[in-house]
């Protein structure tokens, strides 16, 4: 599942994920009718609209054995919110529950479904990892992405102080309250730069848009990358 921000702004993340999965022997399909998980509508309170998006997404992925998402927040949306949103439609609700069970965020899919903690890849540089809120507190995941990073040859993983603190993105929050959002981001990026890392890794397109946008504005030498890009081994620090 390549959701809206990934499709439009970070196609290279999707490409990296496809190559990585294929290397690991996974057959990858991309149902082309997909657009977005519906979280922007849901989080702003437009629930009937979010339910309509959820319904078509559930239908589109009905035939997939596993659904892999390179974004913790979209995975959380599918797993935690779809069944409730579609509660009024018994058939769709059952399908949503089944989809929720089949859906995994990328790092969790690699470690928990494929049983892979070390992917054959190399990357040279000092890397720090930001815990995206929905992946960390929603899906309870902090270990898999770190383990995978540590497994990459040439990666020196340094812990980010306050790694579990929000980057200030929050979807529409980032434009509704841009000053507050940017102030939160400022703290995050100060911490990132203090680690001396060459590269900041996260598992969510939203956080990468926020942190990447902040880093490039302050002309930082730190690059923001998605985990898939490091694991695919096509990026250099």
Partner 1 sequence: MSEGLLNVPFSERAGAALGDRFLQEALTIATTKFIDLRKDSFAGFPEGDALRDQARSIKEATLQKLDVYLGQLADNVERLGGRVHWATTGEEARETILQLCRDRGVRMAVKSKSMATEEIELNEALEKAGVTPVETDLGEYIIQLAHEKPSHIIAPAIHKTKGQVADLISEVAGRRLAADPEVLTAAARVQLREKFLQAEMGITGANFAVAETGTVVLVTNEGNGRMVTSLPRIHVAVMGIEKVIPSMTDLVVFLAILARSATGQKLSSYTTLVRGPRQPGELEGPEEFHLILMDNGRSRQIAGTLREALYCLRCGACLNVCPVYRQIGGHAYGHTYPGPIGILLTAMLRGDESVKELAHASSLCGACKDVCPVRIDIPRMLIELRERLDRQKIAPWAERFAFGTLRRVLLSPAAFRLSSALGRVLQRPFLNNGRLTGLPLVLSRWTRTRDLPPVASRTFRERWKDLQ
What is the spatial distance between Cα 56 and Cα 81, in angstroms, rounded to a whole number? 14
Residues in binding contact with partner 1, number by CB under 8 A? 64
What is the spatial distance between Cα 61 and Cα 95, in angstroms, rounded to a whole number? 10
Q: Which of 124, 142, 154, 173 binds partner 1 (CB under 8 A)?
A: 173
What is the spatial distance between Cα 111 and Cα 108, in angstroms, rounded to a whole number? 5
Return the SS3 of 153: strand
6 binds partner 1 (CB under 8 A): yes
Q: What are the residues facing 67 on neighbouring strands? A: 103
Q: How far apart are the first and last CA of the chain?
A: 27
What is the spatial distance between Cα 143 and Cα 38, in angstroms, rounded to a whole number? 27
Which x/- pattern, by CB under 8 A, does the window 198-227 give for partner 1? -----------xx-xxx-xx----------
Q: Of 126-155, which residues contact partner 1 (CB under 8 A)?
A: 133-134, 137-138
Q: Which of 27, 32, 91, 115 binds partner 1 (CB under 8 A)?
A: 32
46 binds partner 1 (CB under 8 A): yes
170 Cα distance to chain centroid: 13
Q: Which of 92, 121, 169, 229 binds partner 1 (CB under 8 A)?
A: 169
What is the spatial distance between Cα 197 and Cα 164, in angstroms, rounded to a whole number? 17
Please state the closest distance from residue 38 (CB atom) to partner 1, in A.
7
The binding site for partner 1 (CB under 8 A) comprises 2, 4, 6-12, 14-15, 18, 28, 30, 32-36, 38, 40-47, 49, 52-53, 56, 133-134, 137-138, 164-166, 168-185, 209-210, 212-214, 216-217
């Amino acid at each position: 599942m390549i959701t809206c921000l990934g499709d439009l702004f970070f196609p290279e993340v999707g490409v990296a994920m496809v190559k990585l999965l294929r290397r690991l022997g996974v057959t990858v399909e991309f149902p082309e009718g997909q657009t977005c998980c519906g979280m922007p509508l849901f989080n702003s309170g437009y629930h009937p609209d979010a339910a309509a998006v959820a319904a078509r997404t559930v239908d589109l992925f009905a035939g997939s054995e596993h659904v892999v998402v390179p974004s913790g927040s979209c995975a959380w949306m599918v797993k935690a919110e779809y069944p409730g949103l579609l509660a009024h439609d018994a058939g769709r609700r059952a399908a949503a529950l089944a989809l929720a069970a089949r859906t995994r965020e990328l790092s969790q899919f690699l470690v928990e479904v494929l049983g892979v903690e070390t992917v054959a890849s190399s990357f040279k540089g000092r890397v720090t990892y930001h815990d995206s809120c929905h992946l960390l507190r929603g899906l309870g995941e902090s270990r898999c992405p770190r383990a995978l990073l540590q497994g990459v040859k040439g990666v020196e993983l340094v812990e980010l102080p306050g790694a579990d603190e929000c980057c200030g993105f929050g979807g529409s929050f980032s434009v509704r309250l841009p000053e507050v959002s940017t102030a939160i981001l400022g703290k995050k990026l100060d911490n990132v730069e203090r680690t001396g890392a060459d590269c900041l890794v996260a598992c969510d397109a939203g956080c990468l848009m926020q942190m990447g946008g902040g880093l490039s504005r302050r002309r930082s030498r730190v690059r923001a990358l998605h985990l898939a890009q490091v694991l695919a081994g096509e990026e250099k620090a």
